[in-house]
Amino acid sequence: MVTKLLSASIEGLDSRRVEVEIDISGGLTAFTIVGLPDNAVKESRERVRTAISSSGFEFPLKRLTVNLAPADIKKEGSSYDLPIALGILAEDGLIPAPSADTLFAGELSLNGELRPISGGISIAMLAKSKEIRNVIVPKKNATECAIIEEVNVYGFDNLYDVIEHIRSDTGVRHKVNFEQYRDQLNDYALDFSDVKGQYLVKRALEIAIGGGHNILMIGPPGAGKSMLAKRVLSIMPRMELDEAIEVSRIHSVAGLTSGDLVSVRPFRDPHSSISKIGLIGGGTFPRPGEISLAHKGVLFLDEFPEFSKASVEALREPLENGDITISRARSTVNFPADFILVAAMNPCPCGYFNDPYHECTCSMNEIHRYRKKISGPIMDRIDMHIEVMPVAVEELKERPQGESSEIIRKRIETVRDIQRGRYKNEKFSENGNMNDKILEEYCRLGKESEKLLVDAMKLYRFSARSYKKILKISRTIADLEGAEEIMPQHLSEALNYRIVDRGI
């Protein structure tokens, strides 16, 4: 007789069904795992053996064979511990056979406790699509799994509790109320009112977040670029349920959540020493990079020119498409990467070019070389460019407190609602992601605006992409005002965000 249990493997963001088969026979004692296990899976033998003894059962001194089917895909990670342990106990007749309508995943510790695994949501989604009714996971993963309502999710603290549940159905179905869960967590330590002055930059950031536009801040050191960027998180609109599922899934696969739901938009600020793989994603078993971890949130790249050329150039496609496809010899996976890029840089190597209070010591040549680190195509893909000027010391004391993040966030949520309503039949929901076909329809200009744009195009020699970006930004500015049509004042403000960098 062979005992079979269902479990799952993770491939990219998706999960695949894996059958765990256990056979016990007489003969030379052995405990073998076959079916392309990696080291973490092979080591599961030691964990399983000790966990079974710690849970008060005798580990059978017999010939044990575990097969992970299908045998031709690589199995990695520690989530097979639980099904293997249960299978051995069931095959040895110590516990009743678990139902075939249940999916098991969990890592065991030596004392029999269940530790959280990565990719919980993907596993629950697999159960939903394959119509497997129950999912048994470690308690810490239960919340993320239970967000998939169609599946009965049970979370347990240790192996013994799972066995009790199999024997006499003692478990309680885990449920989660997303609205409640989200409201618990919206509390930010950093607020926009901490930043004095800088109204123009705050306005630009509001437009960027409101419409999902990428933004580059250029300014001397100490002007407040990083300070402003770090507060962007506090004005991000609340996440909807479907967005939270998508984001949590990525973070869960990357092993960052330890089983919690991500209910606040992500803010990722990798250091400039990050490798291309770290930023974009990749590896033998492809894992999401920073751009995917920033999905539906903000990717903040401080000291933008310090990032390696390869990393920055690799941003082109994700900036354009909102996702990234990673091809490796073994597999090709697609990770979503729909983020708002907030980048900050100094105008020149010494940092003080254009600064009213300091003298710049760079030669024109040095400045050119510095700016060349960010190529034209990347600059072109960043919708908004804005200059951040330092606030004078006297002013810092006198300036009144600015608006609080909460007020700004309310406005952003309103403007996002307008967009969601307008694009309810489209695949995107922000102005920044509008595709070209739709552009003409939603960004129609009046005669006056049309003339203004044509004149600006001639004067500044904008690219076709710039033209579209200007239209999208104007759309957001008009939406912020609640205007149906794009007026010349909206357009001219949008133009402002494209010409800052043309000074030299």
Partner 1 sequence: MNKRAEGKKYEKIARTYLQQRGWTIIEENYIFGHKEVDLIAVKAEELCFVEVKFRYSPAYGRGFEFVDSRKKNNVMTAAKGFLAKRKGYRNFNVTFGIVSITGEEIDFRRGYFKW
Q: How far apart are CB 62 and partner 1 at their closest, in Å?
A: 5
Closer CB to partner 1, residue 42 or residue 410? 42
DSSP of 165-179, one letter per residue? HHHH---------HH
Closer CB to partner 1, residue 47 or residue 371? 47
Closer CB to partner 1, residue 89 or residue 477? 89
| HSE value, Cβ hemisphere, 13 Å, CA-based, for 297 | 29
Q: Are strands 384-387 and 215-218 parallel, antiparallel or unpaired?
A: parallel
Residues 494, 496, 501, CA angle at the centre, nearest 5°?
125
Closer CB to partner 1, residue 29 or residue 401? 29
Residue with tokens 């991500």: 262
Give yes or no for a cis peptide into 70 (omega within 30° of 0): yes
Closer CB to partner 1, residue 61 or residue 393? 61
Q: How far apart are CB 50 and partner 1 at their closest, in Å?
A: 12
Residue 455: its H or E element: helix 447-460
Q: Give, in order, the Cα–Cα distances in Å from 55 to each of 145, 285, 407.
A: 26, 33, 54
Beta-sheet strands, E only, within 83-188: 102-104, 107-108, 114-115, 134-138, 152-156
Closer CB to partner 1, residue 26 or residue 421? 26
Closer CB to partner 1, residue 15 or residue 78? 78
Q: How far apart are CB 69 and partner 1 at their closest, in Å?
A: 21
Closer CB to partner 1, residue 62 or residue 196? 62
Q: Residue 62 pairs with which residues in a beta bridge?
A: none
Closer CB to partner 1, residue 60 or residue 138? 60
Q: Give, in order, the Cα–Cα distances in Å from 338 to each of 133, 151, 290.
A: 32, 28, 11
Contacts of 123 (CB under 8 A, 6+ apart): 8, 10, 15, 79, 103, 105, 135, 137, 145
Residue with tokens 């250029």: 218
Closer CB to partner 1, residue 93 or residue 283? 93
Q: Residue 203 pairs with which residues in a beta bridge?
A: none
Q: Residue 336 pairs with which residues in a beta bridge?
A: 323
Residue numbers at the binding site for partner 1 (CB under 8 A): 26-32, 45, 60-63
Query: Which amino acid would we find at residue 487?
Result: M
Q: How far apart are CB 66 and partner 1 at their closest, in Å?
A: 12
475-479 long-range CB contacts below 8 Å, 24 or more apart?
475/211, 475/431, 475/434, 475/442, 475/443, 476/207, 476/210, 476/211, 476/213, 476/415, 476/431, 476/432, 477/207, 479/210, 479/211, 479/415, 479/418, 479/419, 479/431
Q: How far apart are CB 65 and partner 1 at their closest, in Å?
A: 12
Q: How far apart are CB 92 and partner 1 at their closest, in Å?
A: 11
Residue 40: its H or E element: helix 39-42
Q: How far apart are CB 109 and partner 1 at their closest, in Å?
A: 20
Residues 249, 251, 253, CA angle at the centre, nearest 5°?
70
**Contact 298/255 with Cβ under 8 angstroms?**
no
Q: How far apart are CB 29 and partner 1 at their closest, in Å?
A: 5
Q: How far apart are CB 45 and partner 1 at their closest, in Å?
A: 6
Q: How far apart are CB 78 and partner 1 at their closest, in Å?
A: 18
